[in-house]
Amino acid sequence: MYPAVINKYNTINWQEVPIPKPGKSGVLVKVTFASICGTDQHIFSGEFHPGTRLPLIPVTGNSRNGRNL
């Protein structure tokens, strides 16, 4: 998969990472649309450091749309 990855604050890159394996009670969802929220903007700029560790694949926004795989 090619998610947006924050490797350093204020920079987002698209990079290939392995597709995660869901746990026993989890599901894998292919996200087709996502939005960002105010918290995402603070994470991007590093305002929540050291609460966020890099590299980070953000779980973007409060709204997502996708389908179970």
Q: How does pLDDT run across 40-53, given as a tens digit for each residue?
A: 888 889 998 888 88
pTM score, whole prediction: 0.69
- Of 39 and 22, the structure prediction assigns the larger pLDDT to 22
Band (pLDDT 50/70/90 cuts) for residue 20 is: confident
Q: Which two tokens stand for residue 3?
A: 């998610």
Note whether 37 and 2 are within 8 A (CB): no
Q: Which two tokens stand for residue 56?
A: 């980070």
Q: At CA 32, angle to CA 19 and CA 65, rounded to 5?
A: 110
Note whether 37 and 62 are within 8 A (CB): yes
% of the chain surpassing 90 pLDDT: 29
